A and B are shown apart, each in its own frame.
Chain A
Amino acid sequence: MSVVNKDFVGKGGDNSRRLPPGQTQVTSWPVLSYEPTPHIDTDQWSLTIDGEVNAPITIDWETFNNLSKTQLKTDIHCVTRWSKFDMPWEGVSIEELISLAGGLKPDANFLLAKSFGGYTTNLPIWDVLNSRAMVATHADGEPLTDEHGGPARLFVPHLYFWKSAKWITQLTFSKTDKSGFWEVNGYHNYGDPWKEERYSDEY
């Protein structure tokens, strides 16, 4: 049970202004994936943190689950125009994973996240720091199912949800930005739901 902070409103505390423009609230959790749904056994699972970090590392499921966990109840917004409110999420913060890989090198400016099937998405480094992102294992108190990106997916709730890559297996930090799968295919490079950054200007 969370402490309720009296008069705290923030971006989502006022129900009348909680939905970003062009979105509709849903109570179910729709599934939308480019890739066919893979099933990844946890004994086959691994996460690599590499690129502009001091000590690139690949960890297995057990090591990952022994890391300090973080939780956040928040809203998610899909570019296909649905939003779902009040979802509790749990996982390991990106800062914790960066720590495990020896910290960022000074030139780390971007993150390219890669899924088991090869799907990629790109983010500025700032958007995954400051407790704003995690590699999530649980939503709504349950382990993530295959169709929702289990056993672990990236979780970046302040951007459209395609940025929260399912079936995550690699986090590569880089000096320069490199567009991911949807970003190459017409979606916006950043994806702020509050500014309706759905599509790239060229499309």
Chain B
Amino acid sequence: MLPTPAHHVAGQHYELQLTAGNGYQAARPYSASSTADDMPLLNLTIQHVPDGEVTTYLANNLEVGDAVEIRGPFGKFFTWTEENTQPILLIAGGSGVVPMHSILASHKAANATSEMQLVYSAHTYEDIIFKEDFLHSPNVTITLTQDDTSWWTGATGRINSELFAKTMERFSDTPTCYVCGMNPFVSAVTDMLQELGIPVENIKTERFG
């Protein structure tokens, strides 16, 4: 809960800052998973990075009711508003799906009729974030890269040109592609998109390490 509402646009991020007893600080950017309509409630969905300086504290020490410093919103580029009526293909790896959740939720909240699809690559079924919103959505394709469940009937394996081609059938025109995930994921996907003829101008990326 924020003391005063902030008005972020879907896809933007906030900076979360931790301060140690001796004054030392560390800050990291985290994408909002909620829409601005939810203010003053702000949802940041954060994946624990083993040995991560900030996420380890958030996962192990932070308790309900604790205060943290938040600054933002930031980012003007990896965003979506309802004025944008172009077809949009969102491609996410792991927790790269967080800003996509905000974008899809905003698209839905605005009753937008523009085409929007999400292709989301997760390791296993357990790793899927936002299951409630994503599992039965006609706008979401999930692929499991380390699937160990026999009952999963969705896509498996890394995002490849075959899955991409299937997704493209749902678009009436070349979409603008938003790609978010770990650096190697973003590089691999953008290489593939370019090989498949998506112009560089149609690709927006957001990466984390």
| Closest Cβ neighbor of A102 among chain B residues | B77
Does A13 touch B at the CB level, under 8 Å?
yes
A-B contact count (CB 8 A): 128
Pick from A74, A95, A130: contact of B75, CB below 8 A: A95
Complex Cα distance, B74 from A93, in Å, reads 9
Nearest CB of A to B51, in Å = 11
Q: Tell me which of B19-27, B97-105, B116-124, B141-149 binds A.
A: B19-27
Does A18 touch B at the CB level, under 8 Å?
yes
Q: B54 near A10 (CB under 8 angstroms)?
A: yes
| Known pairs A8-B61, A68-B74, A70-B15; A13 contacts B29 (CB<8 A) | no
Q: B74 near A6 (CB under 8 angstroms)?
A: no
* Interface footprint category on A: 35 or more
Pick from B24, B66, B69: contact of A75, CB below 8 A: B24
Does B209 touch A at the CB level, under 8 Å?
yes
Complex Cα distance, B28 from A85, in Å, reads 20
Q: Interface residue count for B (Cβ, 8 Å)? A: 46
Does B80 touch A at the CB level, under 8 Å?
no
Does A195 touch B at the CB level, under 8 Å?
no
Q: Which residues of B contact A44 (CB under 8 A)?
A: none
Most chain B CB inside 10 Å of its own CB: which residue of A4, A10, A54, A126: A10
Return the CB mask of A59-85 against B: 1 if under 8 Å, else 0. Answer: 000000000101111110000000001
Complex Cα distance, B26 from A98, in Å, reads 21
Pick from B15, B25, B74, B208: contact of A73, CB below 8 A: B25
Q: B29 near A95 (CB under 8 angstroms)?
A: yes
Complex Cα distance, B18 from A12, in Å, reads 11
Complex Cα distance, B72 from A180, in Å, reads 32
Nearest CB of A to B61, in Å = 5
Return the CB mask of B73-116 against A: 1 if under 8 Å, else 0. Answer: 01111100000000000000000000000000000000000000
Q: A11 near B53 (CB under 8 angstroms)?
A: yes
Q: A4 near B28 (CB under 8 angstroms)?
A: no
Q: A73 near B24 (CB under 8 angstroms)?
A: yes
Q: Which residues of A contact B66 (CB under 8 A)?
A: 5-6
Q: Which residues of B contact A131 (CB under 8 A)?
A: 15, 27-29
Does A142 touch B at the CB level, under 8 Å?
no
| Known pairs A5-B68, A106-B190; A10 contacts B20 (CB<8 A) | yes
- A sample of 28 inter-chain contacts (CB < 8 A) reads A2-B25, A3-B67, A6-B66, A7-B61, A8-B57, A10-B24, A10-B53, A12-B20, A12-B24, A13-B20, A13-B22, A54-B201, A70-B74, A72-B25, A73-B24, A74-B25, A85-B24, A95-B75, A96-B74, A99-B75, A103-B204, A107-B190, A126-B183, A126-B209, A129-B207, A129-B208, A130-B29, A130-B208
Q: Can you add 9 more A-B contacts, CB < 8 Å, to A11-B24, A96-B75, A131-B29?
A: A4-B19, A6-B61, A7-B57, A10-B53, A13-B21, A70-B71, A74-B25, A74-B26, A125-B207
| Contacts from A to B (Cβ < 8 Å) | 2-15, 18, 54, 68, 70-75, 85-86, 93, 95-96, 98-100, 102-107, 125-126, 129-131
